[in-house]
């Protein structure tokens, strides 16, 4: 075995730890350990760590820091340790911490007991450190980003990335950029008053900026066909429909459409206008080119004859583009809930339209579809499909504001129209409230209740409402506008990237979501705009910009340094059961012919895969089963006899921090327990838990609270594992109190202390 | 070469399974002389004692009584090679589930408490009757696998071993006859059953736990992903996926994969994946998917409780 050189720094925190711990004993003990070449006692490492690093440079190959918590210290946490390692020139994996402050000196009163515990903590960190190893060379990342979706969010993200020098491929399903925004004539501006701007200005401005940038390749009429994760990057195949009209030649003169014999509904206007099989969807569309709808074109060739620039080729074939990307942005916007699914809303009736349809309809004038007459009365129905048993349970967030905007427009331009709004609640958040107040002032009738049914009789619509106050009301109207629910647009696309979604299909953001907005559970896959959930245009643009900034940072070096914990597979032991892949919340594992394979650049080191492998074929570097067992073996070497020996396995994020806070908040406990900062609570396999139980009296395992696991379901799986273990222990006549599970969030230092106390008492008897 | 075949705490299925060899059994008879096989012919312990030496013993069943222990030790002394045949001999098997209870509890249940019993009486090791002394072997405290009593040279797992595994055993015996000493101690695959399983996997967590009678299992899809607990992932392959092909989930009769620490706890590790959508459940209901499992020990140690490292904790 290669000789190693361990440096031990023992920090006394300005000599404040001496009262509780015999530091001399720790120093002597550290010196007695094999391969320890330097033991340094310092008073405040946080203040002069650079100098200490210089002294250690070239002398050690691993660092053991004995002092404050690497998780919770306000002055010297793991980020600082990473800096010191860099100064010394050590790999980020070659350190361990013995937390003798928060989880020892601060939480125990008995000096002898605390010193014994500190010695054990030092030993535990030491045995682990000896078997740590570097996780490998950085993975090269392609400095190219895929943006899927050419709406405002996607375009803004692409523009900002390109401005920072990053190449972007922007894929859009439709022939034009702008997405739903282009269909909405007036957009909210979130000022202190009701203010709007027009998409006829906004969309060309942002779309021009996108298409004119050399760093952005825009592929319209295209979809992501295949995604494969290769060596830390995304290899993506994009399929583009045949380009019958060459955008480089087309001058949008419109001669082709004039001669085209085929007229079809224009989907840009949601069927309220017609277009030709060769046409432009709307006059301001960018790219500024005509397109052919293949499913309607009969290839008569008339357009080819009249085209002055020979831009039309009716024999064009689909094109496949394959690129490798270092990051991906999903900006696919929303879809509209199919209101035909709620029969009582009578959506099939021509004069019952949705809010987006009404937006398009208004651009042709305020006329109802059935007979072209201007309606004298109009009913808006909020929550059409949202917050509904027959639709989706969530609030679609923007519809109330949208309806207020539309109602405001009608009452302003057609003041004689009778307008009513049927609503459950009015939710016009923030500054959008001003739109609501304005509509209220204009005398619009608000009816709180739910629609029973919408019927028609002699050209008049009747909206029957169950009112909240218990009564019923029937409102007659010439036209009804349903505020349609918004649903996820591209669930299959998210699946292709391995993104975890909620039960509706919206992507779940990486925990803690509060500081990781827009980041999915798959490394370097982001969601922006309404793809993440219903959102107004301005906020969508904002998220596009924000994510661009994140990606610039990630791709700036063109590589990803691997973190301390990365899974790897011993293929000789792998039986291809695939359980690791189904457990991985980060889609980092794929099954190959000869076994499972971890793509380490996507691995977040949670250890969920390792814990479910029955044959221990998959292990987490620097958190291997054996390392954990080695730590458990020495955990109570210095402990006094007679007290139950409890080993607390605390998850990396929440529970370990709660243990630190026990000390910070002044809780005092007997020194009969030791802690190990494990990865996710679900990183420890039940077989390993059992082996640990053979070495100690009790094991407490704790993880993040419900709905807060950093790895999706790690905490839930552990809760179930321990439940099953406890059941089996009971059946076998083993005291189930020896193994305990707790959901412990950062702020749950109290419940954690209570659990440790309770366990101690129960195991004592 | 002389061969002993014997049964201890066993259902008899293992002895019958040898006949699954079909015509190949004729080769066995040609190559080996079966000198003791109480299931097939009327041998008594005295016959065994009288044997001077044999070469190979194939013993099925676990050790539950003092007589079985004595018998096994006797056999061990007579042979060069002892083969533990079947899950009971290898890991304790179904009788091993008795280790959840004390011997008193078991006898009381069997001879007194069963609903069909009136005025039950617990059998005694010695009963005096009409001036005679009737004796029974001692009912030991625990069921043990053969290697917990004597040294075992080879293991042939299965309940019962599948024909291909028995054929492998015959090949082993032929090698032994040639004087070879094959290193492979367990006549099963080092990979789990999943390695051989023909079913399709979508690589998703099981949505819940379905007890086999609750749903009709899809014949093409992975059992576990359908929520039907199948222990193939922790069980050695080599059985030919017999149960899987009959649309029944694996129960683990071939024993744990070699690198697993323990059969049952490793099984728990992955069973606990079952049940999705916990984010939508109130905290009290988070474990409800696995709460449907009524007899955890019976599920995870159906064939190997005497070998359970969890049981050792006691």
Interface contact flag, A615 B260, Cβ < 8 Å: yes
Long-range contact pairs involving A83-90 (C-beta distance under 8 Å, separation at least 24): A83/A49, A84/A49, A84/A50, A84/A52, A84/A53, A87/A49, A87/A50, A87/A53, A87/A54, A87/A57, A88/A53, A88/A56, A88/A57, A88/A60, A88/A63, A89/A57, A89/A58, A90/A60, A90/A61, A90/A62, A90/A63
Any chain B CB within 8 A of the CB of A513? no
- One domain for residues A192 and A266: no
- One domain for residues A572 and A685: no
Q: Could you say which residues from 611 to 640 on chain A have a Cβ atom under 8 Å away from some Cβ of chain B?
A: 611-612, 614-617
Residues of A in contact with B222 (CB under 8 A): 578
Position A425 in a domain: yes
* Average pLDDT of the segment spanning A299-311: 97
Q: Running DSSP on this structure, what letter comes out for residue A511?
A: S
CB atoms under 10 Å from CB of A707, counted, come to: 14
* CATH code, A64: 3.40.50
pLDDT score of A3: 79
Sequence length of chain B is 314
Interface contact flag, B270 A579, Cβ < 8 Å: yes
Q: Running DSSP on this structure, what letter comes out for residue A509?
A: B
Q: Which residue of B lies nearest to A693 if distances are taken between CA atoms?
A: B313
Domain end position, chosen among A602, A620, A638: A620
Measuring CA to CA, which residue among A667, A654, A646, A664 is closest to residue A750? A667
Average pLDDT, chain B: 95
End-to-end C-alpha distance for chain B, whole angstroms:
44
- One domain for residues A456 and A502: no
**DSSP alpha helices (H): ranges in A214-339?**
255-259, 302-306
Distance from CA of B296 to the nearest CA of A (A): 6
Residues of A in contact with B275 (CB under 8 A): 716, 720
A174: helix, strand or coil: coil
Distance from CA of A687 to the nearest CA of B (A): 5
- One domain for residues A550 and A570: no
Q: How sure is the predictor about A2, in pLDDT bands with cuts at 50, 70 and 90? A: low
Confidence check: pLDDT of A744 > 60: yes
Interface contact flag, A724 B283, Cβ < 8 Å: no
Q: How sure is the predictor about A191, in pLDDT bands with cuts at 50, 70 and 90? A: confident
Q: Confirm if A26 and A118 have CB atoms less than 8 A apart.
A: yes
Interface contact flag, B283 A743, Cβ < 8 Å: yes
Interface contact flag, B269 A685, Cβ < 8 Å: yes
Question: In chain A, helix, strand, coil percent, each to 5?
Answer: 35, 25, 40
The string of pLDDT tens digits covering residues B217-236 is 999 999 999 999 999 999 99
Q: Which of A511, A583, A718, A728 to mutate to probe the B interface, most B CBs <10 Å?
A: A728
- One domain for residues A461 and A506: no
The string of pLDDT tens digits covering residues B97-137 is 999 999 999 999 999 999 999 989 999 999 998 999 999 99
Measuring CA to CA, which residue among B209, B192, B228, B83 is closest to residue B146? B83
- One domain for residues A265 and A357: no
Q: Which of B198, B238, B239, B270 to mutate to probe the A interface, most A CBs <10 Å?
A: B270
**DSSP alpha helices (H): ranges in A449-563?**
491-497, 537-555
Any chain B CB within 8 A of the CB of A414? no
Residues of A in contact with B280 (CB under 8 A): 503
pLDDT score of A193: 77
- One domain for residues A580 and A659: no
Interface contact flag, B276 A713, Cβ < 8 Å: yes
Interface contact flag, A591 B203, Cβ < 8 Å: yes
**CA distances, B170 to each of B12, B16, B160, B187, B237 (Å):** 20, 16, 15, 11, 19
Any chain A CB within 8 A of the CB of B261? yes
Position A408 in a domain: yes
Burial status of residue A137 (CB atoms within 10 A of its CB: 0-12, 13-18, 19 or more): exposed
Position A561 in a domain: no
* CATH code, A266: 3.30.70
Position A28 in a domain: yes
pLDDT score of A459: 81
- One domain for residues A263 and A230: no
Interface contact flag, B224 A583, Cβ < 8 Å: no
pLDDT score of A319: 97
Separation of alpha carbons B4 and A502, rounded Å: 62
pLDDT score of A1: 53
Residues of B in contact with A743 (CB under 8 A): 283
Q: Running DSSP on this structure, what letter comes out for residue A183?
A: G
Position A245 in a domain: no
- For A97, the enclosing helix (H) or strand (E) is strand A95-99
Pairing label, strands A139-140, A559-560: antiparallel
Distance from CA of A230 to the nearest CA of B (A): 19
Confidence check: pLDDT of A338 > 90: yes
Domain count, chain A: 6
Domain end position, chosen among A441, A461, A488: A488
- One domain for residues A155 and A115: no
Any chain A CB within 8 A of the CB of B102? no
Domain end position, chosen among A595, A620, A645: A620
Any chain B CB within 8 A of the CB of A121? no
Any chain B CB within 8 A of the CB of A502? yes
Any chain B CB within 8 A of the CB of A733? yes
Interface contact flag, A729 B225, Cβ < 8 Å: no
- One domain for residues A450 and A582: no
Q: Write a three-state SS string for chain B.
A: CEEEEEECECCCHHHHHHHHHCCHHHHHHHHCEEEECCCCCCCCHHHHHHCCCCCEEEEECEEEEHHHHHHHHHHHHHCCEEEEECHHHHHCCHHHHHHHCCHHHHHHHHHHHCCCCCCCCCCCCEEEECCEEEECCCEEEEEECHHHCCCCCEEECCCCCCHHHHHHHHHHHHHHHCCCCCCCCECCCCCEHHHHCCCECCCCCCCCCECCCCCCCCCCECCHHHCECCCHHHEECCCCCHHHHCCCCCCCCCCECCCCCCHHHHHHHHHCCCCCCHHHCCHHHCCHHHHCCCCHHHHHCCCCHHHCCCHHHC
* Average pLDDT of the segment spanning A747-756: 98
Picking from A581, A685, A716, the nearest residue to B203 by CB comes out as A581
A209: helix, strand or coil: helix
Distance from CA of B193 to the nearest CA of A (A): 8
Identify the domain containing residue A277 by its residue range: 255-317
- Exposure of A652 in the CB half-sphere (CA atoms within 13 A): 21
Any chain A CB within 8 A of the CB of B311? yes
Measuring CA to CA, which residue among B313, B259, B309, B238 is closest to residue B91? B309
Q: Which residue of B lies nearest to A726 if distances are taken between CA atoms?
A: B296
Confidence check: pLDDT of A752 > 70: yes
Q: Which of B186, B196, B269 to mutate to probe the A interface, most A CBs <10 Å?
A: B269
Interface contact flag, B286 A716, Cβ < 8 Å: yes
pLDDT score of A140: 98
Position A248 in a domain: no
pLDDT score of A190: 78
Long-range contact pairs involving A11-15 (C-beta distance under 8 Å, separation at least 24): A11/A42, A11/A43, A11/A44, A11/A45, A11/A46, A11/A65, A11/A66, A11/A67, A11/A68, A11/A76, A12/A41, A12/A42, A12/A43, A12/A67, A13/A43, A13/A44, A13/A67, A13/A68, A13/A101, A13/A105, A14/A43, A14/A44, A15/A43
Separation of alpha carbons A411 and A419, rounded Å: 8
Measuring CA to CA, which residue among B198, B200, B209 is closest to residue B271? B209
Picking from B100, B262, B271, the nearest residue to A690 by CB comes out as B262
> In sequence order, what are the beta bridge partners of A422?
A381, A447
**CA distances, A35 to each of A244, A520, A634 (Å):** 72, 43, 17
Residues of B in contact with A725 (CB under 8 A): 265, 268, 310
Interface contact flag, A575 B194, Cβ < 8 Å: yes
Position A250 in a domain: no
The string of pLDDT tens digits covering residues B18-77 is 999 998 888 888 999 999 999 998 999 899 999 999 999 999 999 999 999 999 999 999
Picking from B205, B234, B272, the nearest residue to A614 by CB comes out as B234
> What b-and-e string marks burial along B220-241, b requiring 16 or more CB atoms within 10 Å of the CB?
eebbbbbbbbbbbbbbbbbbeb
* CATH code, A602: 3.30.70.20
Q: Which residue of A lies nearest to B97 if distances are taken between CA atoms?
A: A732
Separation of alpha carbons A21 and B142, rounded Å: 49
Interface contact flag, A575 B191, Cβ < 8 Å: yes
pTM of the entire predicted model? 0.95
pLDDT score of A48: 86
pLDDT score of A274: 96
Position A576 in a domain: yes
Any chain B CB within 8 A of the CB of A686? yes
Interface contact flag, A503 B280, Cβ < 8 Å: yes
The string of pLDDT tens digits covering residues A665-689 is 999 999 999 999 999 999 999 999 9
Separation of alpha carbons A607 and A699, rounded Å: 19
> In sequence order, what are the beta bridge partners of A329?
A147, A526
* Average pLDDT of the segment spanning A562-570: 96
- One domain for residues A18 and A129: yes
Distance from CA of A487 to the nearest CA of B (A): 19
Any chain A CB within 8 A of the CB of B100? yes
Average pLDDT, chain A: 96
Chain centre distance of CA B189: 16
- One domain for residues A763 and A640: yes
Q: Which of B272, B280, B294, B308 to mutate to probe the A interface, most A CBs <10 Å?
A: B272
* Average pLDDT of the segment spanning A654-666: 97
* φ/ψ of residue B7, rounded to 5: -125, 145
* CATH code, A449: 3.50.50.60
Residues of B in contact with A614 (CB under 8 A): 192, 233-234, 256-257, 260, 266-267, 269-270
Any chain B CB within 8 A of the CB of A593? no
Any chain A CB within 8 A of the CB of B290? yes
Any chain A CB within 8 A of the CB of B221? no
């Amino acid at each position: 075995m290669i000789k190693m050189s361990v440096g031990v720094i023992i920090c006394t925190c300005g000599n404040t730890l001496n009262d509780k711990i015999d530091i001399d004993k720790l120093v002597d003990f550290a010196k007695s350990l094999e391969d320890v070449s330097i033991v340094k006692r310092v008073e405040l490492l946080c203040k002069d760590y650079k100098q200490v690093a210089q002294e250690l440079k070239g002398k050690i190959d691993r660092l053991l820091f004995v002092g404050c918590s690497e998780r919770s210290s306000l002055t010297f946490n793991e980020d600082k340790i990473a800096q010191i390692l860099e100064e010394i020139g050590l790999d980020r994996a070659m350190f361990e911490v013995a937390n003798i402050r928060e989880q020892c000196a601060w939480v125990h009163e008995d000096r002898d007991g605390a010193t014994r515990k500190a010695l054990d903590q030092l030993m535990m960190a030491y045995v682990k450190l000896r078997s740590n190893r570097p996780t490998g060379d950085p993975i090269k990342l392609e400095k190219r980003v895929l943006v899927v979706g050419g709406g405002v969010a996607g375009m803004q993200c692409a523009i900002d990335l390109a401005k920072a020098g990053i190449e972007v491929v922007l894929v859009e399903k439709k022939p034009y950029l702008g997405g739903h925004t282009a269909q909405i004539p007036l957009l909210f501006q979130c000022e202190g008053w009701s203010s709007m701007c027009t998409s006829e200005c906004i969309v060309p401005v942002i779309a021009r900026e996108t298409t004119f940038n050399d760093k952005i390749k825009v592929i319209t009429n295209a979809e992501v066909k295949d995604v494969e994760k290769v060596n830390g990057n995304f290899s993506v195949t994009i399929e583009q429909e045949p380009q019958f009209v060459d955008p480089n030649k087309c001058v949008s003169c419109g001669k082709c459409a004039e001669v085209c014999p085929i007229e079809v509904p224009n989907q840009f206007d949601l069927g309220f206008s017609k277009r030709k099989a060769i046409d432009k969807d709307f006059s301001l569309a960018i790219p500024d080119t005509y397109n052919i709808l293949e499913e309607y074109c009969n290839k008569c060739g008339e357009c080819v004859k009249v085209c002055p620039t020979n831009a039309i080729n009716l024999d064009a074939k689909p094109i496949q583009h394959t690129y490798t990307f270092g990051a991906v942005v999903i900006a696919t916007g929303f879809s509209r809930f199919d209101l035909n699914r709620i029969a009582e809303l009578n959506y099939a009736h021509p004069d019952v339209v949705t809010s987006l349809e009404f937006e398009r309809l208004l651009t042709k004038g305020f006329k109802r579809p059935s007979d072209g007459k201007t309606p004298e009365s109009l009913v808006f129905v909020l929550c059409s499909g949202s917050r509904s048993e027959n639709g989706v349970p969530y609030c679609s967030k923007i519809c109330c504001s949208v309806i207020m905007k539309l109602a405001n427009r009608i009452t302003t331009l057609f003041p004689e129209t009778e307008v009513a709004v049927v609503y459950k609640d009015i939710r016009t958040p923030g500054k959008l409230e001003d739109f609501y107040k304005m509509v209220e002032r204009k005398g619009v009738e608000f009816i709180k209740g739910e629609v029973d049914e919408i019927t028609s009789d002699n050209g008049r619509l009747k909206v029957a409402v169950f009112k909240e106050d218990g009564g019923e009301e029937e409102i007659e109207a010439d036209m009804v506008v349903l505020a349609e629910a918004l649903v996820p647009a591209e669930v299959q696309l998210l699946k292709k990237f391995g993104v975890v979604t909620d039960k509706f299909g919206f992507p779940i953001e990486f925990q803690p979501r509060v500081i990781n907005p827009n980041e999915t559970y798959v490394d370097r896959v982001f969601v922006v705009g309404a793809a993440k959930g219903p959102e107004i245009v301005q906020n969508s643009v904002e998220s596009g910009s924000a994510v661009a900034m994140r990606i610039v940072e990630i791709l700036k070096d063109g590589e990803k340094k691997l973190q301390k914990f990365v899974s790897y597979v011993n293929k000789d032991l792998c039986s291809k059961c695939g359980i690791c892949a189904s457990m991985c919340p980060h889609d980092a594992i794929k099954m190959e012919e000869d076994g499972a394979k971890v793509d380490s650049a996507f691995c977040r080191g949670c250890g969920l895969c390792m814990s479910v492998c029955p044959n221990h074929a998959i292990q987490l570097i620097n958190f291997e089963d054996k390392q954990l067992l080695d730590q458990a073996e020495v955990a109570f070497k210095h402990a006094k006899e007679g007290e139950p020996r409890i080993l607390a396995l605390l998850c990396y994020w929440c529970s370990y921090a709660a243990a630190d806070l026990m000390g910070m908040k002044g809780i005092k406990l007997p020194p009969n327990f030791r802690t190990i900062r494990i990865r996710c609570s679900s990183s420890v396999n039940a077989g390993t838990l059992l082996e640990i139980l053979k070495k100690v009296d009790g094991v407490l395992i704790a993880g993040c609270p419900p709905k807060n696991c950093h790895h999706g379901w790690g905490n839930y799986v552990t809760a179930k594992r321990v439940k099953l273990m406890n059941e089996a222990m009971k059946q076998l006549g083993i005291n189930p109190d020896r193994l305990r599970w707790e959901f412990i969030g950062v702020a749950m230092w109290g419940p954690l202390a209570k659990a440790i106390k309770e366990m101690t008492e129960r195991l004592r008897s | 070469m002389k061969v002993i075949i014997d049964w201890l705490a066993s259902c008899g299925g293992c002895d019958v399974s040898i006949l699954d060899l079909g015509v190949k059994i004729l080769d066995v008879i040609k190559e080996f002389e079966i000198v003791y096989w109480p299931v097939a012919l009327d041998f008594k312990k005295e016959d065994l004692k009288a044997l001077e030496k044999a070469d190979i013993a194939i013993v099925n069943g676990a050790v539950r009584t003092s007589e079985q222990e004595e018998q096994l030790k006797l056999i061990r002394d007579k042979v060069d090679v002892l083969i533990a045949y079947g899950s009971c001999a290898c890991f304790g098997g179904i009788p091993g589930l008795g280790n959840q209870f004390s011997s008193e509890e078991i006898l009381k249940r069997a001879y007194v408490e069963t609903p069909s019993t009136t005025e039950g009486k617990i059998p005694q090791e010695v009963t005096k009757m009409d001036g005679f002394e009737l004796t029974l072997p001692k009912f030991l405290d625990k069921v043990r696998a053969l290697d917990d009593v004597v040294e075992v040279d080879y293991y042939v797992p299965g309940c019962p071993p599948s024909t291909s595994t028995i054929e492998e055993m015959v090949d082993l015996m032929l090698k032994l006859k040639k004087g070879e000493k094959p290193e492979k101690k367990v006549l099963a695959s080092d990979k789990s059953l999943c390695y051989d399983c023909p079913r399709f996997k979508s690589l998703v967590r099981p949505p819940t736990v379905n007890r086999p009678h609750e749903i009709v299992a899809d014949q093409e899809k992975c059992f576990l992903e359908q929520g039907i607990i199948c222990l193939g992932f922790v069980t050695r392959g080599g059985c030919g996926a017999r149960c899987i092909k009959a649309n029944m989930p694996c129960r683990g009769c071939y024993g744990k994969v070699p690198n697993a620490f323990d059969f049952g706890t490793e099984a728990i590790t992955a069973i606990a994946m079952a049940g999705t959508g916990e984010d939508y459940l109130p905290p009290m209901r988070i474990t409800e998917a696995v709460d449907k499992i009524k007899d955890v020990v019976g599920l995870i140690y159906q064939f190997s409780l005497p070998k359970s490292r969890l049981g050792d904790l006691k």
